């Protein structure tokens, strides 16, 4: 059987991964489709990433008017840095972009709101800057489910990876022999 050299890695490794939570803020909550599920999946993801040592960064869009990150998620975010932004794309915010680039981790897990605005623009800009966005589809939403659906389709076609909170945690875990297996398993039950 012939052998080939693979230049692209499809599996996502924790040592090459970071996460960015986008704009999960107080004033958005009543308007976002399926927000209870989004919050639950985001909490599971954040706690799991903490067990796995994957760094988390938080963005807040104009917190003076939109409030801060919701308390349920802030409580499990540890000492994750929070960057205020006014641009829709996190990459367009100089402080956020510098922080993400300095992590030297190619894969960026994206989750938050709204899928068709800030998440999508961030994903497209990450691709333009040579990074690989990984959209946590069950931890991102919009006011209108149709806007979310079209944004997911566009990001996928542009080259973003689509997955779920549980799937990415087990992919980063890689094996039931990992010391974090029990903690991750308990989170997703």
48: containing domain: 14-188
Question: What's the confidence (pLDDT) of residue 10?
Answer: 83
Tokens encoding 148: 């979310």
| Residues 53-95 pLDDT 10s | 999 999 999 999 999 999 999 999 999 999 999 999 999 999 9
Residue 3 lies in a domain: no
Q: How far apart are CA 164 and CA 142, in angstroms?
A: 16
b/e sequence 176-188, b meaning 16+ C-beta within 10 Å: eebebeebbeebe
Asked if residue 9 has pLDDT above 80, the reply is: no
**pLDDT class of 5 with cuts at 50, 70, 90:** low
CATH value at residue 25: 3.40.50.850
Q: How far apart are CA 167 and CA 65, in angstroms?
A: 34
Average pLDDT over residues 11-24: 97
Average pLDDT over residues 106-118: 98
Residue 89 lies in a domain: yes
Residue 183 lies in a domain: yes
Q: How many residues are given for the chain?
A: 189
Residue 71 lies in a domain: yes
Asked if residue 3 has pLDDT above 90, the reply is: no
Residue 36 lies in a domain: yes
**pLDDT class of 170 with cuts at 50, 70, 90:** very high
Contacts of range 94-103, beta carbons closer than 8 Å, 24 or more positions apart: 96/20, 96/57, 96/59, 99/57, 100/18, 100/20, 100/57, 100/131, 101/129, 103/18, 103/55
Residue 7 lies in a domain: no
Question: What's the confidence (pLDDT) of residue 6?
Answer: 47
Domains: count for the chain: 1
Residue 9 lies in a domain: no
Q: Which residue has the tokens 């994903």?
A: 123
Contact between 50 and 146 under an 8 Å Cβ cutoff? The reply is no
Asked if residue 4 has pLDDT above 90, the reply is: no
Residue 6 lies in a domain: no
Active site residues: 23, 85, 118
């Amino acid at each position: 059987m012939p052998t080939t050299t693979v230049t692209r890695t499809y599996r996502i490794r924790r040592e090459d991964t970071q996460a960015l939570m986008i704009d999960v803020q107080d004033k958005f909550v009543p308007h976002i489709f399926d927000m209870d599920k989004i919050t639950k999946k985001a909490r599971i993801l954040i706690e799991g990433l903490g067990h796995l040592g994957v760094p988390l960064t938080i963005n807040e869009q104009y917190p003076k008017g939109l409030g801060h990150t919701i308390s349920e998620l802030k409580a499990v975010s540890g000492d994750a840095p929070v960057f205020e932004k006014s641009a829709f794309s996190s990459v367009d915010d100089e402080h956020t972009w510098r922080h993400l680039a300095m992590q030297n981790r190619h894969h960026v897990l994206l989750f938050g709101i709204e899928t068709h605005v800030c998440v999508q623009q961030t994903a497209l800009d990450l691709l333009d800057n040579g990074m690989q966005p990984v959209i946590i589809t069950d931890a991102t939403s919009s006011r209108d489910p149709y806007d979310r659906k079209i944004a997911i389709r566009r990001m996928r076609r542009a080259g973003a990876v689509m997955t779920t909170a549980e799937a990415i945690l087990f992919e980063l875990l890689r094996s039931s022999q990992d010391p974090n297996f029990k903690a991750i398993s308990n989170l997703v039950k």
